[in-house]
Chains A and B, each alone.
Chain A
Amino acid sequence: MPDITFVKPALPRSGALVLLLAEGAALAGLAKAAEEATGGAVSRGLEAAKFKGTKGQSCTLWAPSAGLAKIVAIGLGKADALDAQGAENAGGSAQVAVQQEREAVIAADGLTPTLAASVAMGARLRSYRFDRYRTTEKEEDKPKLERIAIASAEATKAKAAFAPMQAIADGVFLTRDLVSEPPNVLTPTEMAERCKALEKLGVEVDIIGPREMKRLGFGALLGVAQGSAQEPRMVTMKWMGAPKGKKQKPLAFIGKGVTFDTGGISIKPAGGMEDMKWDMAGAGTVIGLMAALAGRKAKADVIGMVGLVENMPSATAQRPGDVVKSYSGQTVEIINTDAEGRLVLADVMWYCQEKYDPRFMVDLATLTGAIIIALGHERAGLFSNDDTLATHVKEAGSAVGEKAWRMPLGDAYDKQIKSDIADMKNVGGRPGGSITAAQFIQRFVNGKPWAHLDIAGTAWSSKDAPTVPKGATAYGVRMLDRMVADHYEG
């Protein structure tokens, strides 16, 4: 991962130079300096490449003289329409364009210090790689980039603006690491262990295992875990950042952490089952979010809780037909052992409310295939019993490019999970499958404002996006960090 620094604008003598050019704008600042130093090669090259500066356009000028290996021009679109997301996307594209050089300067001298910081954020986010398990990768295939210098007329200000972003990027990377890890490495125990890394950021981390869960009566979560040789864990992460005298009830974020989901006795088809290593992405997102909030010292009291289990078929596995008693006291008839995430959330959420009496709860879970059939991969499904909270989540997501789409809830849907033998059953059939899953979770919401994000379609991406390389997206970390920043701090 390259280091990112902020420097005063000056032409580099080697490596790569990235020019960020708005549509129709004349060359100015560093771009103009480069034009002069190369004897007009920049404008000649851009003209030959029909480069107009439209959003997402890019063009590489090789060996333009002045010692540079290359100059990369990246289009920003219309200058007055440039926002943080546009700047981040340009930074991400810049990162990809120069990753085979050791050093690069990105000329952000035409941008405000905040937008220059966003360029840096985009480059940082796109630089993520998960290569822990590659041992034979050829040297020429590895990125070489060691240092990115963001050239800004107000470098100090830009650097200050980048500091909290960097903490957020660290949180995003932590989530991407967790989601990328294979399931034989990232077991519930190991995942809980990794949460402890947050202690050095000032987060209080508390872990409980099956004995304590049994004592508490976590029948729903334990039913899922009982088929696996791996013990379950529940991790509570507390960040108490609200200033003294401004204390309110804490905010709560809860994540589903099924470290591998075979489906259990209701086993999944073989095709694509490897994807089920990321069935812990909800929990991974909550952990990354807590790291981001603590890393930037958010002025809010926040509880993050994750329920970590592995769902396996075995001699001791839970069966369809079983009835389990949840921590709330409500009983659940298991119809399909592959609808396990809601069972884990049920106990963790009820415990969260009893113990911490939060101001609201937001849960994240790769919960249903149905949400992919409903919405695809650009948006997560958002379900909520509280319009204000739902709006806060949705708007924060739009601001950082993590989009959500509100889905309905209602008594008529709730009827689909009525059971003949228990208080409810754990699936409501194919029609409205993600809605009935949300209705199930809502039965474990005890009068609190609550929002549920079904991230099954957005946690993992099969193609690159400007600031998100393919693979684990960490969808939700930036959204919820932004929501806390916009509405619940200070």
Chain B
Amino acid sequence: MVKLILQRSTEALRRHKARGADSALILPVRLGSVPEDVALAAAMKAARFTAKAGEVLAVPGAHGFTILAGIGGGEAISDWEAGGGAGLAAAAGRAHSVLLADAATPEQAAGLAAGALLNAWRFNALRDASKDKDTPPAQVTLAVAAPTKVEPAWVRAEAMLRGVLYARDLVAEPGNRLNPASFAERLRGLRDFGLKVEVLEGKRLTALGMGALCAVGGGAEHGPRLVVLRWPGKLKAAPVAFVGKGVCFDTGGISIKPAAGMEEMRGDMAGAAAAAGAMLALALRQSPAPAVAVLALAENAIGAASYRPGDILRTHSGKTIEVLDTDAEGRLILADALAYTARRFRPRAMIDLATLTGSIITALGHLRAGVFGNDEALTAALMAAGEGVAEPLWPMPIDDEHREILKSDIADLRQCALAGSGAWGGRFLSDACHAAAFLREFVEGTSWAHLDIAGVEAREEAAPLGPKGPSGFGVRLLDRLVAMRFERDA
């Protein structure tokens, strides 16, 4: 992670000048405002710069290299984040950058810096990035009037930031490096931050009756794991629970996927990564809310021991499932994880995250994740949290028809609708809704929401808050949800 230096603005500006062309000065500009500096004001006018959030203008000249970064009206912290992110992207190629926030509130200044650092994330562990043209400055200085006043806001923002980047790093890892065993090993490292980490595997999972998780992960060299992360918090209350789908690589299994695009399936563990990232954020900012994350890790491999279409699985809940499509594996491992979480922790609320269906991408595109659930208040809180942190959701229904289609002749329920049973020649099935109806069978009456994050777990193109690739979607949302809703007594 690029390191942030919090500095008094007079000092930061002095150093900026001394560094000459090696340093970029990023100035947030509000809609309708004009910089005092005559040259900058003239440049802004000439370039028709309007200061929309995320709009930038590079002005090389007498004051070194200056970047005007639009922050729109500046009312929402997300505007400052967009300005910081786009501003830092424009500073690429320079060794230093200074974000000037001497007239901002501590929260706005922290937002500006968080945006910049979200933008600066890269995953270059496996390549030589020295010739990249878009390399962000290695040093980012947040220049403020009084660093000690900004410090607490930055500590909170940094916790969120580190959670997001932790999740992105995991999602970026390829399948040959991140398997259920090595994923669990990395999660053990979270002990350093005060989280309790338990890893259940092998006979333990069998003994717990996790027939679905064991079946999905059974075809791989590295068997499935169920990882439990616990943050004790301070409140005497039941924990809020996050449940994550962690399919380290998804071939589809016997119902194998087409070859084109299969490489993207290394990211099919983004739900688990987001849940882990959120736990890290809560620990780093010492949240008073008790929280638990249960991560179902498996590789859906194809092999002699793979599970098959037609198999009947007995889940941890006792319910049996008829498998129709081994590529609808996420809901199976979540079934075990949800029931286990509900029974063991009796959580105040249970939120699962999963790159679950292509159907949700057809429904909502890459701009919003779908939220399903059984508790309108929880859904509304998630929606509000998402709007505040630029991780927007849209509510989706679970109707009677979606449950009915899962009726099985041989088991308690089917895992999905029969292929080809949809409208217009079988092509159109509302699989995202079916999957949600399926998951609902395993929540045991817990207040529950399901986020189908397929389509938003990775960015298709660079944006102010991050480069193309893993977005860490869900970390900020959960962190904000906890802050809004679970840090007071039940």
Contacts and interface: CB of A to CB of B under 8 A. Distances in A.
A374 B367 contact: no
Most B CB within 10 A of own CB, among A373, A377, A379, A456: A373
A416 B365 contact: yes
Interface stretch (A2-10, A173-181, A429-437): A429-437
B433 A413 contact: no
A376 B425 contact: no
B137 to A, nearest CB: 29
Nearest to A374: B363
B123 interface: no
A69 interface: no
A431 B426 contact: no
Given A375-B397, A379-B399, A432 B363 contact: yes
A432 B367 contact: yes
B432 interface: yes
A369 interface: yes
A408 B394 contact: yes
B428 A413 contact: no
A432 B362 contact: yes
B362 A376 contact: no
Contacts of A378: 397, 399-401
B359, B363, B364, B455 pick with most chain A CB within 10 angstroms: B363
A222 to B, nearest CB: 27
A370 B427 CA distance: 10
Interface string A374-411: 11111100000000000000000000000001011010
A273 B362 CA distance: 21
Contact of A373 (B368, B401, B428): B428
A413 B364 CA distance: 9
Contacts of A271: 424-427
Nearest to B420: A271
B402 interface: yes
A379 B397 CA distance: 9
A431 B455 contact: yes
A460 to B, nearest CB: 8
Contacts of A272: 423-427
Nearest to A271: B425
Contact of B362 (A379, A410, A412, A431): A431
B318 interface: no
Contacts of B365: 413, 416, 431-432, 435-436
Contact of A269 (B359, B367, B427): B427
Nearest to A431: B365
Contacts of B394: 407-408
A375 B364 contact: no
A378 B427 CA distance: 17
Contact of B366 (A372, A375, A379, A431): A431
B435 interface: no
Given A379-B399, A408-B368, A431-B366, A373 B426 contact: no
Contact of B401 (A273, A376, A410): A376
Contacts of B366: 431-432
Size class of the contact patch on chain A: 20 to 34
Given A376-B401, A408-B368, A410-B367, A370 B425 contact: no
B428 A369 contact: yes
A275 interface: yes
B69 interface: no
A462 B424 CA distance: 11
A457 interface: yes
Interface in A407-453: 407-408, 410, 412-413, 416, 430-436
A372 B430 contact: yes
Contacts of A413: 365, 367
Interface string B416-438: 00000011111111111100000
Nearest to A376: B430
A95 B237 CA distance: 55
B397 A372 contact: no
B361 interface: yes
A418 to B, nearest CB: 14
B424 A373 contact: no
A433 B362 CA distance: 6
Interface string B463-477: 000000000000000
B363 A373 contact: yes
B262 to A, nearest CB: 18
A372 B423 CA distance: 8
Interface in B358-413: 359, 361-368, 394, 396-397, 399-402
Contacts of A408: 364, 367-368, 394
Contacts of A379: 397, 399
A270 B427 CA distance: 12
A369 B399 contact: no
B455 A373 contact: no
Task: Find the residue from A374, A377, A432, A456 having the highest chain B CB count within 10 A.
Answer: A374
B425 A373 contact: no
A369 B455 CA distance: 19
Nearest to A377: B401
B364 A373 contact: no
Q: Specify which of B365, B427, B432 lies most central, judged by the most chain A CB atoms within 10 Å of its CB.
A: B365
A269 B425 contact: yes
B401 A369 contact: no
A410 B359 CA distance: 20
Contacts of B426: 271-272
A185 to B, nearest CB: 22
Interface in A344-390: 369-370, 372-379
B202 to A, nearest CB: 39
A377 B429 CA distance: 9
A413 B424 CA distance: 26
A242 to B, nearest CB: 36
A15 to B, nearest CB: 34
A90 to B, nearest CB: 19
3 smallest CB-CB distances across A and B, nearest first, come from A432-B365, A272-B425, A271-B425
30 contacts: A269-B425, A275-B423, A369-B428, A370-B363, A372-B422, A372-B428, A372-B430, A373-B362, A373-B429, A374-B362, A374-B396, A374-B433, A376-B402, A376-B430, A377-B401, A378-B401, A405-B396, A407-B363, A407-B394, A408-B367, A408-B368, A413-B367, A416-B365, A431-B364, A431-B365, A432-B362, A432-B364, A432-B367, A433-B362, A457-B423
Interface of B: 359, 361-368, 394, 396-397, 399-402, 422-433, 455
Given A271-B426, A457-B423, 12 more contacts: A369-B427, A370-B362, A372-B422, A373-B428, A373-B430, A373-B432, A379-B397, A405-B397, A408-B364, A412-B367, A413-B367, A436-B365
